[in-house]
Amino acid sequence: MNRGSPVIEVRDLIKNFAVSSGFFGRPGTFLRAVDRVSLLIRRGETLGLVGESGSGKSTVGNCILRLLQPDGGQIFFRGRDLAAMNRRELQTIRGRVQVVFQDPLSSLDPRMTIKRIVGYPLTVSKQVRGAEVEDRVLAMLREVGLGKDHLHRYPHEFSGGQRQRIGMARALITEPECIMLDEPTSALDVSVQAQILNLIHDLQKRHGYAYLFITHDLAVVRHISHRIAVMYLGLIVESASKDTLFENPCHPYTRALMASAPRPDPFNRQDLAVLPGDPPSPVHIPPGCRFHPRCSSVMDVCRLEAPPRVRIAADHEVACHLYPST
């Protein structure tokens, strides 16, 4: 097993959304949800993508899945550019890059049985037919901790954690190489969240999946990821291996994010209000460094120039004027 080979590589991804369309469909105002984002997801590895709401983290995931059409940049799956593929070519790839969404109830059709839901990707891709579908579905359900008696039930009969298992089974049945996990545990209670995180971890161990784990929860991302990228307003401001990032966070935003996450430790009370203000709307992106209006170490240059991405260690990049490129 060639662990560590790149599965997905994203280069300078750009995605714009129209805020208002112009007069008679002429181009109006745009907001840039994702601005030149580059990522690398390797086999058997989890890349955590962290950010607050509106930071563009889900948009990156949706662009990789081509659920959204990127406006610039390239997305390579095993060396082939997904962004340039047509529908037919995409269909051959779709089964190999899968997704699990946040809310398991709204992503499962309430009128389909579990057997149909989980078997659907196989039916669509015409990989298998007939009785073999049921065998594969059953094998997959066992893999995620469900069983034969669940086959003919409907989504509403399951608890939140079980529904997320069903979502996992559906994503895994086409034997993908890469899976986007878009806040898969945010809607779950902490004891159930632990079960699902363990499941996600075990499946990766067994099959070597590459995960893009999108979340706003730093504790979860720290537990599950190998490498972490922090997004703010459509931009990756810092990326590093998990241990490096938590031991030596460099970007002021990463530091603030870590300091304001409440830790389950009543013996050390934190100053929780470390970062003033709200995340600005992506329609009105501040000039220069996007973070400068909220930054505690703001300098004159931050108001004028966007900081470049600088490699400060082997696996540690940061975009901040505090770390000038040499």
Partner 1 sequence: MLDYGKTLLSIRDLSVRFATYQGLARVLEKVCLDIKSGEILGLVGETGCGKSVLARSVLRIIPSPPGKIAAGTISYQGEDLLQISETRMRQVRGNRISMIFQEPMSSLNPVFSVGNQMREVIRLHQQVSKKEATRIALDMLRQVQMPDPAAVLGKFPHELSGGMRQRVMIAMELSCGPDLLLADEPTTALDVTVQGQVLAILRRLAGEKGVSVLFITHDMGVVAQICDRVAVMYAGQMVEVAEVKELFSAPAHPYTRGLISAIPGAEGEKGAEHLYSIPGVVPGLIDPPEGCRYHPRCEKKRAVCTEQTPVMVKLHADHDVACHCCGPSREEGRP
Q: Which stretch binds partner 1 (CB under 8 A): 27-35, 168-176, 222-230, 318-326?
A: 222-230
Subset of 263-292 contacting partner 1 (CB under 8 A): 263-267, 269-279
Piece in contact with partner 1 (CB under 8 A), picked from 74-82, 99-107, 262-270, 317-325:
262-270
The single residue among 40, 68, 197, 285 that binds partner 1, judged by CB under 8 A, is 197
Of 31 and 97, which CB lies nearer to partner 1 in the complex structure?
31
By C-beta, is 21 or 159 nearer to partner 1?
Answer: 159
Residues 6+ apart with CB under 8 A from 80: 93
Yes or no: say if 230 and 214 are a contact pair by the CB < 8 Å rule.
no
Please name the helix (run of DSSP H) or strand (run of DSSP E) that holds residue 9, with its range, or none: strand 6-20
Q: In the complex with partner 1, which residue's Cβ is closer, 88 or 206?
A: 206
Q: Select from 87-95, 197-205, 298-306, 312-320 the region that touches partner 1 (CB under 8 A).
A: 197-205
Return all residues near 219 (Cβ < 8 A) that are at least 6 apart: 261
Phi/psi zone of residue 66: left (φ > 0), alpha (ψ -120 to 50 degrees), beta? Answer: left
Site membership for partner 1, residue 191 (CB under 8 A): yes
Distance CA 74, CA 36 (A): 10
Supply 235's token pair: 């931009």
Dihedral angle sign, alpha carbons of residues 219, 224, 225, 230:
negative
Shortest distance in whole angstroms from residue 280 CB to partner 1: 10
Nearest distance from residue 44's CB to partner 1, in Å?
14
Q: Which is nearer to partner 1, 87 or 205 (CB)?
A: 205
Q: Which of 1, 2, 23, 53 binds partner 1 (CB under 8 A)?
A: 53
Residue of 192, 125, 111 whose CA lies nearest to 157: 111
CA gyration radius for the chain?
21
Distance, CA of 134 to CA of 153 (rounded, Å) = 14
d(CA 49, CA 168): 19
Q: Report yes or no: 308 and 319 within 8 Å, Cβ to Cβ.
A: yes
- Closest separation in Å from C-beta 78 to partner 1: 28
How do 6-20 and 72-77 pair as beta strands?
antiparallel
* 88-147 positions binding partner 1, by CB under 8 A: none
State which of residues 169, 257, 302, 320 lies at the interface with partner 1 (CB under 8 A): 257
When binding is defined by CB under 8 A, the residue of 58, 107, 162, 244 that contacts partner 1 is 162
Does residue 192 bind partner 1 (CB under 8 A)?
yes
Strand order in the sheet with 72-77: 29-42, 6-20, 72-77, 80-81
Decide if residue 149 touches partner 1 (CB under 8 A): no
User: Does residue 201 touch partner 1 according to CB under 8 A?
Assistant: yes
Where do contacts with partner 1 occur on this chain (CB under 8 A)?
A: 52-53, 159-162, 189-195, 197-198, 201, 216-220, 222-224, 256-257, 259-267, 269-279
